[in-house]
């Protein structure tokens, strides 16, 4: 006899017939399926130079998608018809960072080879995942331009610890996979870097915008200017969002929090502006540590960042 109220094996959740949650638009990838956006988790944080559980972020960000609707009030558009194909998470090697990087690279490249989606969201992990991921996009699409939201340059030397979450862009540039002039860094903060790495950026013609630059120029004109410049020089563009670019008041769940960063609105608006260009094919969102978060504030902001990219 069927139960009156019980529904074994299924969660007890309220459902409003008029509301579609973002999580409801996510489907597990199967061969032959097509969608607008591909989603992959890159749960690696063993290369972090500070203690980090960012490997757990893909789970918490996906969970956060259950809290938000597909309706955009500012434009009166509903994205409930969009399909997000979830390719799952790459299993990392238990001890070898280099093997993990290879697995991440292969997984992203294989996802791209399926050609099932137009654009892609990659959920880290620490910022070290950007190196194998961008390398995969470079193999697939050709010349890549990168907009990096970050408090740090992430061009540390490799002699003091190998490939870490502080080395992805040095690895790409020194490896000939990314031209320095095709990298734009937004939100670089005082007292968060070394002069040697500022010198490296200047030597390699990396376009660096500090928080003072953001204050003086405004983040929207700045992003628009660099997107226009890159679009004339590259085959595709990739957005890399290190959540520690955001002020610790808005994103407490990062291993390297600090004051004086971007507001949540500045991050979301600038990502939306960048994502509108047709050459922007991907975004990674990294450095969310759920173990350090407060009421999932950072995971929820990461989910909104993902949505600003998808719903352009």
Instruction: Dump pLDDT digits (tens) for 41-94.
Output: 999 999 999 889 999 999 999 999 999 999 999 999 999 999 999 999 999 999
Find all residues with CB under 8 Å of 194, minimum gap 6, and list them. Answer: none
The CA-based dihedral angle spanning residues 45, 147, 120, 163, taken in that order and rounded to the nearest 10 degrees: -30
Between the CA of residue 271 and those of 205, 283, 285, what are the distances in Å? 23, 9, 11
Do residues 253 and 294 lie in contact, with contact meaning Cβ atoms separated by under 8 Å?
A: yes
Do residues 137 and 108 lie in contact, with contact meaning Cβ atoms separated by under 8 Å?
A: yes
Pairing of strands 119-124, 71-72: unpaired
Instruction: Dump pLDDT digits (tens) for 121-149.
Output: 999 999 999 999 999 999 999 999 999 99
Do residues 227 and 244 lie in contact, with contact meaning Cβ atoms separated by under 8 Å?
A: no
Do residues 113 and 105 lie in contact, with contact meaning Cβ atoms separated by under 8 Å?
A: no
- At residue 11 the predicted structure's pLDDT band, cuts being 50, 70 and 90, is confident
- Domains of the chain with CATH codes: 22-310 (3.40.800.10)
CA–CA separation, 71 and 247 (whole Å): 27
Do residues 42 and 125 lie in contact, with contact meaning Cβ atoms separated by under 8 Å?
A: yes
CA–CA separation, 104 and 137 (whole Å): 12
Round the average pLDDT of the chain to a whole number and report it.
Answer: 97
131 membership: H or E segment, kind and range: helix 130-141
């Amino acid at each position: 006899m069927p139960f009156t109220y019980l529904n074994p094996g299924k969660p007890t959740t309220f459902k409003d017939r008029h509301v579609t949650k973002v999580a409801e638009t996510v489907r597990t990838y199967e061969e032959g399926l097509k969608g607008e956006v591909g989603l992959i988790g890159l749960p690696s944080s063993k290369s972090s130079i500070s203690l980090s559980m960012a490997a757990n972020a893909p789970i918490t960000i996906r969970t956060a998608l259950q809290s938000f609707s597909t309706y955009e009030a500012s434009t009166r558009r509903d994205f409930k018809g969009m399909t997000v194909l979830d390719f799952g998470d790459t299993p990392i090697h238990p001890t070898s960072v280099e093997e993990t990087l290879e697995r991440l690279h292969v997984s992203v490249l294989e996802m791209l080879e399926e050609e099932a989606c137009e654009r892609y969201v990659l959920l880290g992990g620490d910022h070290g995942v950007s190196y194998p991921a961008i390398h995969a996009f470079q193999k697939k699409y050709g010349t890549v331009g990168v907009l990096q939201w970050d408090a740090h340059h992430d061009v540390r030397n490799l002699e003091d610890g190998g490939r870490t979450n502080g080395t992805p862009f040095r690895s790409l540039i020194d490896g000939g996979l990314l031209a320095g002039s095709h990298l734009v860094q937004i939100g670089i903060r005082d007292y968060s870097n070394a002069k040697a790495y500022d010198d490296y950026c200047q030597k390699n013609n990396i376009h660096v915008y500090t928080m003072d630059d953001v204050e003086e120029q405004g983040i929207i004109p700045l992003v628009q200017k660099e997107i226009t410049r890159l679009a004339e020089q590259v085959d595709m563009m990739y957005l890399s969002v290190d959540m520690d670019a955001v002020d610790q008041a808005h994103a407490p769940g990062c291993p390297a929090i600090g004051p004086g960063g971007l507001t949540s609105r500045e991050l979301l608006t600038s990502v939306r502006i960048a994502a509108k260009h047709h050459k922007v094919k991907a975004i990674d969102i990294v450095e969310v540590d759920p173990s350090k978060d407060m009421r999932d504030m950072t995971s929820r902001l990461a989910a909104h960042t993902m949505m600003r990219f998808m719903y352009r």
